[in-house]
Copies of this chain bind each other. A is one copy, B any other.
Amino acid sequence: MRLPIGFRVGAIKAGIKPSGRLDLGLILSGRPAAWAFVATTSRAAAPSVRRGRELYAAETPLQAVVVNAGNANCATGPRGQEDDRRMARAVAARYGLPEHAVLTASTGVIGVRLPVERIEQAVPTLQPGFDLLPFAEAILTTDTRTKTAEATLPGGARVVGVAKGSGMIHPNMATMLAYLLTDAELPQEELRQTWPSVVDRTFNQISVDGDTSTNDMAVLLANGGAGPVDPEEFWPAVERVARDLARQIARDGEGATRLITVRVQGAATPQEARNAARAVASSALWKAAVYGNDPNWGRVLGALGYSGATFDPLRVRITLQGVPLYDGEPLPFDSRMTSQAMRREEVVVEVDLREGPAEAEAWGCDLTEGYVRINAEYTT
C-alpha cells in the first residue's frame, strides 16, 4: 500500500506488550501537516487524549504521531500525564521537532503505569520507512487482524488509513484508534469542519459491546505534498476509507464471527437514522440472535423501539438478508431458509421507518461465547 507523499511510518518492539510483539508505532510527515481530530467524550479520558485536545486547540500543525499498544496510560494519576509528555518528548528529540508537533496515543490495559523508559529507549532505534504493515500491527491489542484502507483521487493524491479496534468499540470513539494520512492540500479550517461529520457517519456508527473507551481518537493528517485537490473528490474518498476501516473494526470485534450491517432509511432526521441503525447494531439480544442464525426480527423492532427514533410500528418494514420479515405486521417467511441465509460473513438488516427522507448505516458484530471468554480474564 503506497503511502501518500511525504509520510513515513515505522514500528518497533518496545517491550510493552507481554507477548513481546510490535507495540510502538510512529507516523512521520516530512512537512508540517494540517490535521483534524475527534476523540473520546469520556470524562475519564487518558492523558494522551487530553494532551491531543490541547494541541488541537492551539491549531499548530503536526509532524509526528506516536502510538503505544499494551498500556492505555489511563487512570495512572498525575504521573500518567508526565509519562505521556515524555513519550512525545522522546520523538521530538529524536527528529528535532517541537514537542507540540507530536501527537501521542496509547491503548491497552487501564490503571497500570506506562513503562515510559522502554519507549524512550526504543524511539531512537525505530527506523521509519514506507511499509504501513508493521505500524498497523504495532497498534493492535485484542484485534486479530491489521486494518488498512486506501483511495486515490483522480489527480493522484492519496488517502491511506490504518486503524485498530476490537473490544469496547462504540459510538463516541471507544477503544479505537484511526489515522488517515493524505498528501492532499486542504485548509486546516476545512479539515476541521468536515472531519467530525465523516466520523459521525463511519467510526461513530460501529459498536462491539456498548462500552465507550477512555483513549480513542480518529485523526486526519493532510500534509499537502500532492498539492490542492477538489473537495468534492476528496471528501468522498476520505469517507470511503473511513467506512472501510469502520467495517473492518466491527467485523473484528472480540469473539466475533460475523459482520452485522444495519441500513436505515425513511427516518425523520439524519440523527434519528443514525441512532436507529446503531441501536440495532448494538443490541445484545440481536447480536446473540445473529450468532445463532436466528431470524428473530422482533429483537430488531425492539431495538428500534428504544432507539429514540420516531416511527409507527404499524408502518415500519424490516428486511433480513434480502428477505422481507415485517411490514407493519409479521410477514410469512421460511425461517429455515432465512436462517440458512444468515450463515454468511455479513448479515444485512434493512429497515424502512417510513417517516422521512433520512438514512444511515451502522455496523456491529455478533455476540459470542468467545466475547465472554476473552473479557472474563483480561488483567489477571
A contact set with B: CB distance below 8 Å: 40-45, 72, 74-79, 109-113, 167-168, 172, 209-214, 282-285, 288-289, 291-299, 301-307, 309-311, 313-314, 326, 328-330, 335, 339, 367-369, 371-380
Contacts and interface: CB of A to CB of B under 8 A. Distances in A.
A313 B209 CA distance: 23
A330 B113 CA distance: 9
Contacts of A313: 43-44, 75
B44 A302 contact: yes
A313 B49 CA distance: 14
B43 A304 contact: yes
A335 B111 CA distance: 13
A295 B109 CA distance: 13
Given A43-B310, A212-B306, A214-B305, 20 more contacts: A42-B306, A44-B304, A72-B298, A77-B328, A111-B301, A113-B330, A209-B284, A209-B285, A211-B284, A212-B302, A212-B305, A214-B301, A214-B302, A284-B284, A284-B371, A292-B377, A294-B379, A298-B379, A335-B379, A339-B380
Q: How many copies does the complex hold?
A: 2
A330 B77 contact: yes
A211 B213 CA distance: 20
A22 B267 CA distance: 41
A305 B380 contact: no
A345 to B, nearest CB: 18
Contacts of A167: 285
Most buried by B among A112, A282, A288, A367: A288
Contacts of A211: 283-285, 299, 302-303, 306
Nearest to A297: B111
A266 to B, nearest CB: 14
Nearest to A380: B294
Contacts of A368: 372
A306 B371 CA distance: 21
Main secondary structure of the interface of A (DSSP, over half): loop
Given A211-B306, A380-B295, A301 B75 contact: yes
Given A209-B284, A214-B305, A372 B375 contact: no
A111 B372 contact: no
A43 B311 contact: yes
Contacts of A284: 209-211, 284, 371, 375
Contacts of A76: 329-330
A41 B289 CA distance: 23
A298 B109 contact: yes
A72 B299 CA distance: 12
B44 A376 contact: no
A291 to B, nearest CB: 5
Contacts of A111: 297-298, 301, 326, 330
Contacts of A375: 284-285, 288-289, 292, 367
Given A291-B376, A372-B368, A380-B339, A298 B43 contact: no
Contacts of A307: 43
23 contacts: A42-B305, A43-B304, A43-B305, A43-B306, A43-B307, A44-B304, A72-B298, A78-B314, A78-B329, A110-B298, A111-B297, A172-B306, A211-B284, A211-B306, A284-B371, A288-B371, A294-B377, A294-B378, A295-B380, A296-B378, A296-B380, A298-B379, A339-B380
Contacts of A212: 302, 305-306
A110 B316 CA distance: 15
A330 B75 contact: yes
